[in-house]
Structure 1
Amino acid sequence: MILRKYMALLGIGSAKIDLILEKDTYAWGEQVKGVFVVKGGLIEQQLKRIECDLVMSHTENQKADEQVVDSITIYTTKNIESNAENHIPFIFRLPQSIHSDSLGSYRFKSRLAFKEGVESLDHDVIKILQT
């Protein structure tokens, strides 16, 4: 049991997050709906928060640049049981408009932050239609 706890603290066998979206193409100002699926790891862990950033990435002259467009944070003290699957609703309103170029791509970057242990990350690419 102690070995499992230390493994989880290092990120081996810790809880994982996966953002499941209803679709992958949106328009500016549209509401994005989905669910965070949090799967428990080898041991019970206490969740502190879920953070989700809308990130714009673009490459110019072979140099990658990332910018956080908007963020949401869900604060919680929920215990994630070993091997359990938890579903947490996700609703995010895309900004009405943003100054971007056609070379930009967008993704949601989701993170689990625990009381003890390594963060879990997930990336979900979306397409935003230019108007």
Structure 2
Amino acid sequence: MNRPGGEVRQRADTSGALLSLLAHDLREPLGPIELALSMIIEASSPDTAEIAGYAEANCRRMQRLIDAVLWAMRPPGALEREPADLAQIASAAAEIARVLGTACSVVAESCDVDVVPAAMRDAIASLLDCIPDRVTAVL
């Protein structure tokens, strides 16, 4: 006999496993593509570098879109607000943007906010990644 909620838990576990597999399968090819594009940018003529730069930006955009879809599919408990320090969140976002290739820094004073920290971090990182040149964000 099934325990109450057992089927729901099993479905949640199955959904989580599927989501994890989907995340890996969608993201995995983007890393080598982005690396190849960055190598093309460094070793080619300005016209070719411009085209490759456009493709590289679209690759990063695809990564953000995949992240957004996966974020929306998270279980409800993962999206709970909590008190957090905006300066720490912004610093983490800047680190993500730097890893994605955006030369940026964040100057932020400590400020307590009530947010979903990972969502705020990802939103700030996406904003920083959209700015083409070196940027310093002041919060």
Normalising by structure 1, report the TM-score: 0.25
Q: Which has the larger radius of gyration?
A: 2
Structure with higher helix content: 2
